[in-house]
Amino acid sequence: MASSTSTSERPPTAVICVGMAGSGKTTFMQRINAHLHSSESQPPYVLNLDPAVRSVPYDSNIDIRDSIRYKEVMKQYNLGPNGAILTSLNLFSTKIDQVMGILEKRCLPQTPPKPLPSHIIVDTPGQIEVFVWSASGNILLSSLASSFPTVLAYIIDTPRTTENTSTFMSNMLYAISILYKTKLPMILVFNKTDVKSEEQAVDWMRDFEKFQEAVREEEEEEREGGGYMGPLLNSMSLVLEEFYNHLSVVGVSSMTGDGIEDFFKAVEDKRTEFEKDYKPELERRRAEAEDQKSQIRDQEVNRMMKDMEVSSKAKGTGKYAKKDEPETVSDMEDAEDDEDDEESGGLVDPDGADEEEEANQAFEEGLKARYEAALRDGSASASAKAASSANYIRGSQR
């Protein structure tokens, strides 16, 4: 298999399996896991992110169920099944620094060199909104993509999708929403080809005239219910034509193993696409985020220095210190004599005022530097805070 060698020093490709409930994601995960174990490549590193599954037919290196108790989340937050799944993933995302630390230790090249996993494969819940709407999906995917080439495998139930054109179009709209939300390369995996071939679905994608013909046939069979659906589906097929051109499509059977080799060839192609097109975009967005953080730090420092300057004026301290008011006539006469001496330049050190000004300026610069350092330290300690919150959450569930 072209995608793996036992002594490869390159980071493994992360394959994120997403799809609707019942599309066969878990069975597909079992099949690709078994395929990688039986091939010449190193075994994959496996993550399970479905907190509600009772059992999985493969061994997981990292399992969300080890740290998040799904039923306890339902009880504590008074949630239904779907809300508890989303909340569980949100809680798990607070531990992403720990998860990435483990992955980078196990899956990135080390000194001395050691065999690396061929792939990182990730199973996800059937709730598509986890990766479309929730913050946890964005955090998990962006964290993986920052360290590893990442590919989305969108699993589709082929028999159900080809039942009618509206179901097919709904699946395509789900796929496009995930693609443009995550901005990661995607493979459409038409699963269950042992039940029905993927040829009809692929024809509908590649040739919009065949799709429009199928729409007309359905309209002739079902004359009821208004006439807006046909034109809508036809227009959507034309709109999505460009979208289809950016996708790799494979048909597989998780039961028999047919098409798995083609799937991993597509993964290798998408890895190349990630390195060429997606990685530079991720680095650009990361650089913009760092610039924004730097600007915010500078604004905070300038605001703090202005506040201190106003405070000094109000209190009459520092370089804004007021001279002591004379309490007696003799004190007033002494003060007048001192002013005369300053004007005549007789007994006053001419460098005294400059030295005081330099001392004040040095103090302000030192204070500014310490404040900037404190802001940087606060940003660097974000992972420690996340770990602390994760410990609190874990403790509250016991």
Look up residue 121 and give its two tokens: 């494969």
Split into its structural domains, the chain has a count of 1
Query: Cα–chain-centroid distance for residue 299?
Result: 27
Task: Name 189's Cβ contacts closer than 8 Å, sequence gap at least 6.
Answer: 19, 28, 153, 154, 155, 156, 250, 251, 252, 263
The boundaries of the domain holding residue 64 are 12-148
Residue 153 inside a domain? The answer is no
* Residues facing 119 on adjacent strands: 13
Q: Is 143 helix (H, G, I), strand (E, B) or coil?
A: helix
Q: Could you give the CA distance from residue 57 to residue 46 in angstroms, rounded to a whole number?
A: 12
Helix (H) / strand (E) element for 8: namely: none
Q: Which of 23, 1, 34 is nearest to 256 (CA)?
A: 34
Q: Which of 243, 246, 242 is nearest to 273 (CA)?
A: 246
Look up residue 61 and give its two tokens: 């290196």
Full pLDDT tens readout for the chain, 398 residues: 444 444 457 899 999 999 998 899 999 999 999 999 998 778 999 999 999 998 899 999 999 999 999 999 999 999 999 899 999 999 999 999 999 999 999 999 887 888 889 899 999 998 888 777 788 888 999 899 989 999 999 999 999 999 889 999 999 998 988 888 888 999 999 999 999 999 999 999 988 889 989 988 888 877 654 567 888 888 888 888 878 877 899 999 999 999 999 999 999 999 999 988 887 877 777 777 777 777 777 777 777 767 766 555 555 555 555 555 555 555 555 555 555 554 445 444 555 556 666 666 766 677 667 666 666 665 555 545 445 544 544 454 44
Look up residue 51 and give its two tokens: 């907190």
Residue 370 inside a domain? The answer is no
Strands 248-251 and 62-63: unpaired
Confidence (pLDDT) at 220? 81
Q: Is 77 helix (H, G, I), strand (E, B) or coil?
A: helix
Confidence (pLDDT) at 196? 94
Confidence (pLDDT) at 158? 95
Residue 49 inside a domain? The answer is yes
Half-sphere exposure of 85 (CA within 13 A, CB side): 17
Q: Could you give the CA distance from residue 158 to residue 197 in angstroms, rounded to a whole number?
A: 7
Cβ–Cβ < 8 Å for 144, 182: no
Query: Which strands form 45-48's sheet, in the order they lie side by side?
Result: 62-63, 45-48, 119-123, 13-19, 150-157, 186-191, 248-251
Q: Is 138 helix (H, G, I), strand (E, B) or coil?
A: helix
Write the CATH number for 49: 3.40.50.300
Tokens 């959450």, residue located: 393
Confidence (pLDDT) at 316? 58
Q: Which of 397, 322, 337 is nearest to 95 (CA)?
A: 397
Cβ–Cβ < 8 Å for 339, 347: no
Q: How far is CA 377 from CA 79, 371, 373, in A?
A: 37, 10, 6
Confidence (pLDDT) at 78? 94
Residue 237 inside a domain? The answer is no
Cβ–Cβ < 8 Å for 120, 15: yes
Cβ–Cβ < 8 Å for 188, 53: no
Q: What values do phi and psi take at 187, rounded to 5?
A: -120, 130
Confidence (pLDDT) at 135? 85
Look up residue 9 and give its two tokens: 């020093």
Confidence (pLDDT) at 374? 64
Confidence (pLDDT) at 4? 41
Look up residue 34 and give its two tokens: 């078994």
Residue 72 inside a domain? The answer is yes
Confidence (pLDDT) at 339? 55
Cβ–Cβ < 8 Å for 144, 16: yes
Q: Is 249 helix (H, G, I), strand (E, B) or coil?
A: strand
Residue 142 inside a domain? The answer is yes
Instruction: Tell me the DSSP string of 245-312.
Output: HT-EEEE--TTT-TTHHHHHHHHHHHHHHIIIIIHHHHHHHHHHHHHHHHHHHHHHHHHHHHHHHHHH
Residue 60 inside a domain? The answer is yes
Q: Which of 92, 90, 112, 88 is nearest to 100 (CA)?
A: 92
Residue 98 inside a domain? The answer is yes
Confidence (pLDDT) at 197? 93
